[in-house]
Amino acid sequence: MDHLAPPLTALISELEKLPTIGPKTAARLAFYLLSASKEDAEALSRAILDLKSKVRFCSRCFSLTEGDPCSICSDPRRDASLLCVVAEAKDVYAIERTMSYRGRYHVLGGLISPIEGIGIAQLKIAELTERVRKDGVAEAIIATNPNAEGESTALYLARLLAPLGVKVTRLAYGLPIGGDLDYADEVTLTRALEGRRSL
Amino acid sequence: MRVQSLDLANFRNYAALHFSPPGGVCVFIGDNAQGKSNLLEALSLLATGKSFRAARESDLIRAGTPLARVAARVGTKNGDVTASCLITRVGEGARKRFVRNGRTVAYAQFLGGIAAVTFMPSDLALVSGPPALRRRFLNAALSQADRTYYRDHAAYTKIVVQKNALLKAASGVERALLSTYNQQLAAVGSQLLCARARYVQRLSLSAAEVHARWVGATPGFSIRYAPSPALPAGDASPGAALAALERALEAALPAELVRKSALVGPHRDDVEFLLAGEPLGRFGSQGQQRTAVLAVKSAEYALLAAASGEPPLLLLDDVLSELDATRQRTFMSSIADCEQVFVTATEAPDAPTLGGAHVYEIVDGRVEASAHAKTG
Ligand SMILES: Nc1ncnc2c1ncn2[C@@H]1O[C@H](COP(=O)(O)OP(=O)(O)OP(=O)(O)O)[C@@H](O)[C@H]1O
Ligand SMILES: [Mg+2]
Ligand SMILES: [Zn+2]
C-alpha cells in the first residue's frame, strides 16, 4: 500500500483493527468515505468521538448511558420488581428491541470464567445482590447465553439469590421461530421438548 | 457404507490421486514410507475431522504446496454423501474447512456423515499405555455412535477446565462457584458414566465372542469399566450414577482444594482389558495384546454398525504384522464379509490368506493394481 496517500493508509489500518473487518473491506470503506460528502465524514467522526467522551456506565444497572442513571433506570413506568440479568450491554439492546419487556436490567459485564481470570469480583455481582436486597425485586430473570459459561453463571446466581427470597427464573430454551425442526440440533430439540407447554 | 471414489490433492506424499475402490476387502501393499498409512489417514480424516497421527495439521499438506484437499463420495443407506476437507497453510499452522454435500459446515455438523473404525499400530498402546488412551478410545467410539454423548463430553470437559482454573485461582476459591461447577459436573458427568458403562458392557460381550472365535474360549477375554467414582454394586442407572458422583465430589472437596485439581469424575475413568480375569497390560505377550486390541476394534465395528444401522468403513493399518500365519488367516477371513475394508501391509500375504481380497500396490504416493491377486 506504499503507493497510497498516507492519510488513506492510516484510515485503512485503523478500520482493519475493527472486528469482522479484513483488509479488503477496510480499503473499500476507506475509499467510500473518501468519496462521501464532507458532512457525512464529519458526522461519522463526531459520532465516534462522542461515543468515547459521552457514553459511560449507568451507576445502577451498569448498562451504557449518556445521563446517569440511564433512561431505563430513571423511567418510573418501568417495573422495578422485575430485574433482567444480562452479560453485556448489547444484550439490553437486544431485549429492548422486542418491546415486550417492562422491567429493569442488570448488566454483569461478562460471564464467570476462571480460565480467563473472570471471577465473581470482576463482575457486577455484589452490586446485583445489593439491588435485589434493597430495590424490592420480586423476580430476577437470568438471561445469559445458553453456552457453558452462561449456564454456570446462571446456576451460580440462582444459588446466590435464592436465599434472598427472590424468585429466580431462566430464559426458556426453544426452537428458532421460522426455523425447520429437522435442522435443529439434538440439544436444542431436547431442551425444547423439556420446556414444552400445553396448548 | 462404501467409498465409491477418493480424491487427494497435495495430501501428504500424494500430489494427486483419484481412486475408485471396490467393495469388500482392499489390501494395499508397499515398502516403508510409500504412502500406505497416509491413504488411511485421509479416509479417517473424512470420518473424524481429525488426523489420527499428525501432531501439527500443517504436516498433512504436501511439502512445498499451500493447500491440501481430501474428498470422497460415499454410498450410505441414506444415499450418496460427498465429503471433503480442505487444509490451508496459515503461518506455521493450518486451517481446516469442511464441506458436506457441497455446503461448508462446522466441525460438529461434519461429524457423523461418514463412520469409520480405524486400527493403527499405535493402538497397541491401548492395552498397556496410560488410562488417557483408553478414555480417548471410549470417547471417540461413543461420539461416533451417539451425538448426545459427543455434546455432553464436550460440555463436561469445558466445565472441568473451568473448575481446575478456579481451584488454582490466586484470589482464592469461591466456594459457591465450586459447588456450582460440581453440580454441573455431577449432572453431565453421570450421563457420561451411564453411557460408558452401557457401552463397555456391550463392547466386552462382543469382543469376548470375537476373541473366542479367533483363539478359543479359554482363557476368556473381557473388558471392565473402572469408573471414577466406583459405582456401588456396579449399579450404573442414571440415579445411582448421579448420587455416587455427587457424593464423591463432596468427599473429594478437601483434597481438591489442597491439590488444586479436579480429582474425581469421568475424566479420571479407566477401562481394563483382562485375559482370564488378569490385566493383559501386565502379562500379555505382544501377540496376545494385538489380538485383544483387534477383538476390541471388531467389537467397536459391530456396535457402531448396530447403532447407525449400517456397517462403517474399516481402516486397518499394518494390522497383520506380528500375527503368526494362523492368526493372520483367521483375521483376514473374519473381515472377508465386511462391506468395505482397507488393509495395509508391507508384505503380500499368501493367496489363501488374501482370499477374495482386491490387491493394490502403493509406490511413492501412487496406487496401482497389483499382480498378486484379483484386483477390482
Ligand atoms: N506433508 C508431507 N509432504 C510430503 N511428503 C510427506 C508429507 N508427510 C509425509 N510425507 C511422506 O510420506 C511418507 C510416509 O508415508 P506413510 O506413513 O503413508 O508410509 P507407509 O507406506 O505407511 O510406510 P510404513 O510401511 O513405514 O508404515 C514418508 O516418506 C514421508 O516423508
Ligand atoms: Mg505406515
Ligand atoms: Zn441503568
Contact A114 B165 (CB under 8 A): yes
- Residue B209: strand, helix, or coil: helix
What part of B 165-204 touches A (C-beta under 8 Å)? Answer: 165-166, 168-169, 171, 174, 176-177, 179-181, 183-184
Rg (CA), chain B: 22
Q: Which of the ligands is closest to the CA of residue B345? A: 1
Who contacts A146 (Cβ-Cβ below 8 Å, separation ≥6)?
A171, A173, A191
Per-residue CA distances from A114 to A153, A173, B252, B259 (Å)? 11, 25, 20, 17
Phi, psi of B28 (to 5 degrees): -110, 115
Q: What is the pLDDT of residue B376?
A: 43
pLDDT at residue B153 tops 50? yes
Shortest distance, CA A156 to any CA of chain B (angstroms): 6
Supply φ then ψ for residue A68, to 5 degrees: -125, 130
Greatest alpha-carbon pair distance for chain B in Å reads 70
Length of chain A: 199
For chain B, give the mean pLDDT: 94
Say if ligand 1 is within 6 A of residue B59 CB: yes
Identify the pLDDT of residue B155: 94
Q: Among candidates B322, B226, B321, B232, which has minimal Cα distance to B274?
A: B226
Helix (H/G/I), strand (E/B), else coil: A157: helix
- The answer for residues whose C-beta is within 8 angstroms of residue B218's C-beta and 6 or more apart is B276
pLDDT of residue A86: 97
The third-level CATH classification (topology) of the domain covering A78-170 is Dna Topoisomerase Vi A Subunit; Chain: A, domain 2 (3.40.1360)
pLDDT at B375 over 50: no
Does the structure show a pLDDT above 90 at B60?
yes
B174, A119: Cβ pair inside 8 Å?
Answer: yes
CATH number of A6-54: 1.10.8.420
Cβ contact, residue pair A160, B176, below 8 Å: yes
SS (H, E, C) B252-292: HHHHHHHHCCCCCCHHHCEEEEEECCEEHHHHCCHHHHHHH
Instruction: Please identify, by atom number, the ligand 1 atom nearest to the C-alpha of residue B30.
Output: 21
Q: How far is A131 from chain B (nearest CA, A)?
A: 20
Instruction: Give this prediction's pTM.
Output: 0.87
CATH 3.40.1360.10 in chain A: give the residue spans.
78-170
Over range B187-206, report the average pLDDT.
97
Residue B82 forms beta bridges with which residues?
B73
Tell me: pLDDT of B147 over 60. Answer: yes
Residue ranges, comma separated, of all CATH 1.10.8.420 domains in chain A are 6-54
User: Among B27, B37, B319, which residue has the most ligand 1 atoms within 8 Å of its CB, making it the best to mutate?
Assistant: B37
Q: B157 CB near a chain A CB, below 8 Å?
A: no
Q: Which residue is closest in CA terms to ligand 1's atom 26?
A: B32
Per residue in B158-177, pLDDT (tens digit) is: 999 999 999 999 888 999 99
Q: Residue B152: list chain A partners with CB under 8 A.
A: none
If one counts every other C-beta atom within 10 angstroms of the C-beta of residue B87, the result is 24
Which residue, among B133, B111, B296, has the nearest Cα to B200 in the 3D structure? B296
SS3 content of chain A, % helix, strand, coil (to 5): 50, 15, 40
**Which of A173-187, B38-52, B138-152, B272-286 has the lowest average pLDDT?**
A173-187
Closest chain A residue to the Cα of B160, Cα to Cα: A115
Q: Which of B8, B10, B12, B88 to mutate to test the pocket of ligand 1 (most atoms within 8 A of CB)?
A: B12
In this structure, how many other beta carbons lie within 10 angstroms of the beta carbon of residue A64? 17
Per-residue tens of pLDDT for chain A, all 199 residues: 567 889 999 999 999 999 989 889 999 999 999 999 999 999 999 999 998 899 999 999 999 999 999 999 999 999 999 999 999 999 999 999 999 999 999 999 999 999 999 999 999 999 999 999 999 999 999 999 988 899 999 999 999 999 999 999 998 888 877 777 777 777 788 888 888 888 8
> How far lies A175's CA from each of A181, A197, B175, B255, B334, in Å?
8, 13, 35, 42, 46
Phi, psi of B46 (to 5 degrees): -75, -25
Nearest to B184 by CA among B242, B228, B127: B242
Q: What is the pLDDT of residues B321-353, one digit of tens each?
A: 878 888 899 999 999 999 999 999 999 999 999
Do A155 and B162 lie within an 8 Å CB cutoff?
no
Altogether, the residues listed in chain B come to a count of 376
